[in-house]
Each structure stands twice: as structure tokens, then as C-alpha cells.
A and B are shown apart, each in its own frame.
Chain A
Amino acid sequence: MTGGPRQLNKARKADANGNPAYPQPVLGNPVSTLMESGVGNCFPGLEFDLRQLDVRFFPGLVFEFLGITPAGPDGTQGARLTYAFPKGDPIIADKYTDDGQAWVTDLKKQYAGPAGAALGSGTWYLHFVEQDGKRIMLYDYSLYQNGVGLVPYEGETAWWIIRLIEAEKPLTIALTQRAADGSPSGSPVVLTGRRRMFLNDEGMIDPVYHPGELTSSMCSPWTHDFRDCACHYWASNHPDVVLGEVDDPQQQLPDGTDKDDPAQAVTFIDWMRRRHLPLKDVSAQTTLEKARPDRYDPYEINLHWEELDFVLQGQESKGTTDLKKLQPQEPYEQLEELIEDLHELAGMELTLALEYLYAYFSLREPDGVTPEQEMAWPGLTEDVRAARQLILSVALSEMTHLRWVNQTLWLIYAAYPEMGSYEPVLSPTKIDAGPDSKTGHSGTGVLRPATQNVLQNFVDIERPGGDLDTEYVKLVAYLREYMDHFPEGLYQLAVRIDSDGMQHYQKFRDVKRILQPYAAQEALYLRPVQEAKPDSAEVQPALDLVDIALEALRKGYLIEANLGDMSVANAEIKTARDAMHKLSDVALSLARKNIGVPFFARLQ
């Protein structure tokens, strides 16, 4: 016999010390579980535990839904108040003004009065909820031989009732303390208010929920896929889609991936695809129904787990990584070399930012597309709009990188004073493009409109494994190797810049694809912009603004590098930002006159 006789009825189990026979069951994940712990759940709505939303169903209060312990009902089951903290609730904190909603103001007053004071101590339980004149008491009434027993509903039942409460209607709740047997005692506290809306006006989950709170009751099994377990709350933790392994990131093989469409690197594929099918390069399907025939069923994971790839930073990786492949061809041997390269990289970020900006201003504005053109070229307006946004976003990203590379420099100088002192790098680097350059004139400081050829150059210079990326790969490799010798965060910063390159690459590919249909008539999307002479009077205000911006950045960076007054530094950065905003306006009005700003005119 194992385990002793099985108990059949619900009688409490006995214990010599009066304790429950079993300790409280451990529910869900450890408190350290974060939202990110479940990255690939296939059931929308099960990314978190719905029930956790309702622990804060009433603004200002936090409940927990306690079940019946294995030892039987002990008077603690139901919706127990964990704590009342009205001031910590954004609904109350944000809207408690005279012009706030009346019910919020009223609720705040209730919390400020005896009700709030009473809830500050003792153990309270939800007693009833009332809406639309209907009151539900959270008790089982049992009548037996003239005795009336009030047995509190268990937490799950209390939650069923709570979830039926409608939003945007008055709601009255009462909380009470309990006698040892769970029956109400003392005077209950009654509160009127409304149910919390789980999403805020922006459609985001209410910020009252703390990170990890909504998943804290869930399980994170990683050895099996519980997607088909629709009856319970499982957070799966494998990715649905991944980037395929890049066989040849440096394009060193003669049969390297196709130059125009290295699908392996940029197409999301199904991580669960059946490996014996030739599906390696096929995009993941958009729906589960479509994907299902070609992927392992969840139960098969146990049989095929060895075939599934490791995924590092979103990318599949088979077996042992060939470290040699990760190493740049020419690792830095001296810190000086690194510093020298960083100077070049900073300049390159500035050069590219300005080249991209010029291309941006060369695009027509969506509003300028005439109805006739739109009629003849349906979608032209939106295509132009999208292209502009994408190019501008990359230009802005390069400006951010300009700062990050400078920051990397000043942190290195701070760590190694013997290497010299930091000077902001705010002048462009221009590379000499040889006749067989793969990247055309990108990075040379030549300002060009966004023709198909130019866009292809942009794609090429940002390509993973391209020259720019290789520089950053070297930086990342070096900082990883000597991480302990540099200030905290430097390595992460380098990784961040490097991985942004992938996005730039994809964005330019998208822009080129979007504008491809108009290749034969580039005038449809391009202005006939001509770069003005450096001394042209019309562009001097724009060039002044570039100077102002760079000068302000120079001052700001210096203050930051020397750990000076941050408020002054921030003021400088703001000056630079304002100048760039003005520059945007000025350059745009010049562009409307088909005048291109010679951004590099005064820069050395």
C-alpha cells in the first residue's frame, strides 16, 4: 500500500499542533518572474494570468484570491485584502483634482475618512459586491437544523463574481473582518466607486500593474510545450519565429548569400518547423492554421527537441559556435587602435546622418502628390510617406549613434587617462571610395538624392558583415574580451549600436522596395533638388543651424565627459535639438524650392 487510505469527504485534516496537514501549496512562478519570461505564448490572452488583473479590480485596493487549503476550509478562503494603498493607484493619484471624475473624487474622500482608516489595520475580506441594485454576498449560506452557517466562498468563486462586475457603472463593495470560522464580524467597510479599466486610454495595460504581477501565478515549463493545454494558464517560453542561421555572415564564400536578398539573415522563419522538410528559407506563416502542417505539434517537442535550434539574440545557432567566425579578421592589438577607430566611427555616423538627411529632403512630400498622379499611381502618396519616415528614422538613429560613440570615447578616456583627454568628435569622416567599392559613394560625404542606386548604396553600407558593421563587430569583440577593464555598460552600448545596423539595413531595403515601382520615373517621388553652392546666400541660415547644433553638442559632451553640471549639459543638448528642429523646417522650405543644403560646406 502506498500513501495510506484516500480521504473521500471534505473534513479538515487533523494535525496535532492545529496546523494544516500540508503547507500552503506553492502557486505559480517565483516572484522574480517577469513579463518577458513568457515570450512566445500562442494563445492571445494567456500571456498572463487573467485572474491577476482582478486583484486590483477596485481602485486603491489589492486583493488576493485564496482557495481552500488542503486541510479544508479554515475561514481564510475568499478575496482577502492584501493592502489598501490609494495613493499608489494612478487612478486616484492622477485624477484627484477638482475637475477629476466625480466618483474618483468621492472615492478619495472615502479613503481619507473612516473607511480608509479602518482598512489600515487588521485582516479584511471582500464581503459583498453590489451593482445595478444587485448584491452578491460572498458566502455559502447553510441551514442545518435551525443553525445558519456562513461559509465564505473560496477565492476562485469570489473571482468569478468579481469578473462579472461591469466597468463604467457605479459599484459598491463591502469589506469585513472575520471570526475564526470565517463568518463576518465587526462593522464592514463600504466603499463606492467603479471597477478598474484594465487598459488605459492608450490601450496599454494600466500602469498600476507592476512588472511580473500578471504572470506571477503562472508556470513556466520549459521542457515541454503546453500550447495545446488550453485548460490552464501556462506561459510557454520558446520563440515562435526566429531568424535563420547565417551561414556566411562575412560573405566570404564564392557562393555566399544572394547580395540583394540574403533571406537567411532577415526572414523570420518558424522555429518549430519540421526539420526534415526543405523549409529552411521559407517565411513563417502568418496564422497557426497555415503553419501547423509544416511544424511539429507541441507534443512532438519531447521527441524532437534535439533538432530544435538554440536561439541567440533572435537568431538560430546550430551546435557549437565557431568562435573563429565571430572573431573579426584583425582584432585590435592596442587600445590606441580602438580609440583611433572610434574617432573614425563617430565621424562616419555624422557623415551618414547628413547623407541620409539629404536623401530625405530629396523626397517629395505626400501632400504634393497630385490627384492625377495618385490616380495613375495608386499608393504613391502612402509610399512616399513611408519612405520619408523610414529614411528619417535611420538618420535620427545615426545621430543617436554619434552620441553613443562619443560617449564610448569619453568613458574610455576616463578609464585610461594616460591615453590622453577626450575631445568631442563632431567632424565628418569621409572614406575614399575606390572604383570597386561595394558601397558606391556612401560615406564619402557626397550628398545625393534618394535614387534607386543611392538607396542600394545605403543598403550596402549598412549590410551585416559590411564595412561599417565589421568595425562595430571588432569593437564588440574587443570590449567583450576586456569587459572588466572598461566601465560598466560600455559593452552593452557597443552591442546596441551594432544591432541597430541590422535595422538600418532592413529599413533601407524596405525603402528601396517601396520605391522600386517608380524607378523608371523617379520624378514621381523625387524632387529635382540641386545641391546649393557652399556660399549661396539662401543656405547660410541652414548652415548656421548646423554649426549651432554641433557647437552645442561639443559643449554638452565636454561637460558630461568631465562629470560637470548636468543641467548645463542638458541645456546644451536642448539647444542642439532645437537647432535641428529649426534646420528641419528650413531645409524643408529650401527643398520645396528644389535647393539642397550642402551640409558639409563648413565641416572639416
Chain B
Amino acid sequence: MTAVLPELKQRPASGLAHVADDLLLMAETAAIFGLSGVQAAELRSALLAGDRVAAPVLARLGLEAPAAGIPPAPQIHPVRALALTVSQTCNLACGYCYAAGGSFGGADTRMGWDVAKRAIDQLIEATVPGGGVKIAFMGGEPMVARDLIRRSVTYANKRGATRAIQVGYSLTTNGTLISPKDAAFFARHRFAVTVSLDGGKEVNDRLRPDRAGKGSFKRVAQRLAPLLDHRDRISLGARVTVTPQNLDLSQVVDDIAALGFASVGVSPMISSPTGQGALAGQDFARLLAGMMACGDAWMSATLAGRAHPFANLATVLGELHRGSPRSHGCGAARDYLAVDAAGEYSACHRFVKDPLGAMGDLDNGPNDAARAAFLEARTVERQSPCQTCWARRLCGGGCHQEVLHAGRPACDFVRGWLDYGLRAYGRLNAVQPDWFDAQP
């Protein structure tokens, strides 16, 4: 594929470390060091020359890179978060939808109470008393199954209380069906609500039509008010699916923020079941440029003490500061499973009805052997292009579902974005180190 950034024209030869401005990222430990200008220049050229040249240069700085090996098989512990695919149907018909209109390629189905109840039982019973779990209501459009959501929350609270388990809730919705009563309910139970929106009216309506082909923007905007009224108790954010049609991210983020969202996150569409709307080729360069523009705006606002809605940079900065190297891109299969209407577990909400991510069913409980096998196979150390990539322990190998279905078309974008994130980290850490202390 075409290079995204001039300086990332080629994959760097060394996977030991990466230099961005005067920061050094150690690939294996995710530790970040400050360098002098001379050190940075020396290391940058050494890393381009490959591991054999880079290793002694690093060692001279007291930074022996630990050998990267296959990590021990992950411990399987009880799931801490569960997605209930309460409705496998949707009132919208977005062309790129991973659930293919909510049905995951099958007939429209809604989850029955029995399935939800048993899933909640299994989640709570497996959890250490006094612990906490999260339940995510997914779809389709979950608000189609409003009654089931309410019943599940009431039940999970009661069930959790008997074992002193705190249950947290989240919901991903297209926002078109939310009523004031729903918002009050979400507020009472402290939901985290993510509204999918793809941009301002024109852009959004093109990308997110209803089944009759009419745009959804106006309806969403009208339905937002009750959610915004409860902003103090609902953690509210917007999520943008980036396709070739809405790559003007600064505009997209501004348009959505204008609706009242304090947090807007973007995620690129890489694998779509229909093949429609996925990013490809030069799209990634535009995506990166757009995200960097949003990042610059976020940084200016933050340094000036103002809030900015662009969430992706804040997330990256927090992760870089935390510095915990990862072997998987996310918690799927390890901490998180999804349950569908048929009562089958899958590695996450995107693997519903996908044999590659099948993780057992409610009759037999989560299949821990399948989870272990999945995690071991998907560990980034086993991924062949990843082993020699400096970003492997930050990226974790990417989204399992995308990789299994679309490969890794976006690695240059990921490295470019992390390189940008590192530079931003150095800048913010130098000027406003307090920012990191304030992060949850």
C-alpha cells in the first residue's frame, strides 16, 4: 500500500524501539524515555539500520532491550464485562454495519428474557463477591429492546447485590429511539451511553439512513436533549465510524460537538461485511492527517485550559503514560464476551454469529478452552508482521475481528498515529505534566 507519511515510507528495520522527536519508546516494555538531541539522532539512524546496530547503541544508554518472546499462556479468569446483543435488528440501515443491519446476516431476532437472565446469572456467579462487572447493551439497535434492557438492569442490580457485586452499564445506540424516560433511567443507573453519529446532517444522513432511506440526523438531534439534561450522571459520548465519505474529521468532530457532545471518538471502518464503506489505500493518509488536525486542536485547547471533544488523543496519551505493554489489542475473550439472542457466547460483539469467535453457549457456560486457544493464537507475539514492529506492544496486534477478516491494511496508519501520540506526549508532559495525574 501507499506510504502514509514520508518519514514512515518504509517499515523501520528495528523492532526494538522507536524515536519520535526526542522521545524514545522501548518496544517491549512500553517505557518512554527523554533523550538529548544528539542521542535521538544517533538512535534514529541506528534503529533504521536494524536490531544488530541498534542494540549496542541502546545498551550504551543503559537501555538493554529485553528479549521479546512468546508470553506464557494467558490465565483465563472469569469474564468481567458482557455484551448483551439484546436486539439483532435495527431501525437504521447503515451500509457498512458490522452487524449487517443488526441481524448479523441472519433473520431479525430479539433476545428473550430467558437468555438475558441466564447470561446475567452466569456473569454474576463467576465474579468474586465484592467485585464489579460491566454489562454492555449492544445491537442492532438495543433500544428496540427497551423493555428487556430495563428488566435486565433491575435483575442484575438485585442479583449483584446478593453477592455485593457492583454492576456498571453501557449502551451503544444510534440515538433515534431514546425517550426522556429512557434518559432518566440511564441516569439513575449511571449508564455510559455512546451515540453513533458520523458527522453533521448532510454527511450523517448519507451514511446513516433509515430503512426507508431517510436520513437520521434530525431525529438524533431531537432525541439528544434528555440525555444532555442528565449529562452529570450519564457518561455521554459520540462515536464516529470513519469511512471514505466522512474523512473531513475536523468538520465532523466540530459538527457533532455542536450537538452538545463533550466527547467525540472516531474509529476507522476497516472491515465491513458488505465490503462497502471500508477505508483503503490513500484513505488512511487522509484519515491520519484528519486525526492529527483534530489532535492539534485538542492540544491547543488543552494547553490553554479549555476542553476539546476529540477523545482519541486523550486516550492514547493516557495509555502511553500508563505504559502497560499489551499482548492483545483489546479485552475480547479475556475480559469480555458477547451473548447473542440464541444464547451463544462470542469473543466480542463483533464476532456474534462468527464461528471464528465462538466461545461456548449458555447451556455450558463460556468455553474457557476456546477462550484460551483464541487468546494464545491472537497474541501479538505470534503475529508474523507484528513481531518486528516497534508499535506491537501498544497496538496489541489490532482488532481481532478486523484482522481475521480484512488482514492489517492500516498498520502504517497505526504507527503514524502512535508516532504522533508520542510527540504529543512529550509536549504535554513537558508543559503540563499535571494533566496526566488528573486522568482516571
Contacts and interface: CB of A to CB of B under 8 A. Distances in A.
Contact of A147 (B64, B321, B325, B330): B330
A148 B130 contact: no
B131 A5 contact: no
A334 interface: no
Interface string B316-330: 000111111100011
B128 A147 contact: no
A148 to B, nearest CB: 4
Given A146-B348, A148-B331, A187 B29 contact: no
Nearest to B166: A137
A141 to B, nearest CB: 6
A13 interface: yes
A11 B134 CA distance: 27
A146 B194 CA distance: 13
Interface string B14-47: 0000000001101011111111100100000000
Given A127-B130, A137-B130, A12 B81 contact: no
Contacts of B330: 144-147
A13 B29 contact: yes
Most buried by A among B33, B321, B332, B429: B33
A72 B323 contact: yes
B80 interface: yes
Contacts of B166: 137
Central interface residue in B28, B129, B130, by most chain A CB within 10 Å? B130
B75 interface: yes
Nearest to A6: B34
A128 B166 CA distance: 12
Given A6-B33, A13-B31, A187-B129, A144 B319 contact: yes
A322 B136 CA distance: 85
A181 to B, nearest CB: 8
Contacts of A190: 129-130
A9 interface: yes
B29 A148 contact: no
A14 B128 contact: no
B29 A128 contact: no
A14 B59 CA distance: 13
B378 interface: no
A171 to B, nearest CB: 15
Interface string B122-139: 000000111111101000
Interface size class, chain B: 35 or more
Interface residues of A, number: 40
Interface string B44-77: 0000000000000000011110100000000101
A148 B78 CA distance: 11
B75 A128 contact: no
Contacts of B336: 146-148
Interface string A557-590: 0000000000000000000000000000000000
Nearest to B396: A145
Contact of A8 (B23, B28, B324, B329): B23
A72 B30 CA distance: 12
A185 interface: yes
A187 B126 CA distance: 11
Interface in A1-53: 1, 4-14, 16
A8 B24 CA distance: 10
A219 interface: no
B62 A4 contact: yes
A598 interface: no
Given A14-B26, A145-B330, 18 more contacts: A4-B61, A5-B33, A5-B35, A6-B33, A11-B325, A12-B29, A14-B28, A14-B29, A14-B31, A14-B66, A137-B132, A137-B166, A140-B440, A144-B315, A145-B329, A146-B348, A147-B334, A148-B134
Interface of A: 1, 4-14, 16, 72, 127-128, 135, 137, 140-150, 174, 176, 179-180, 183-188, 190
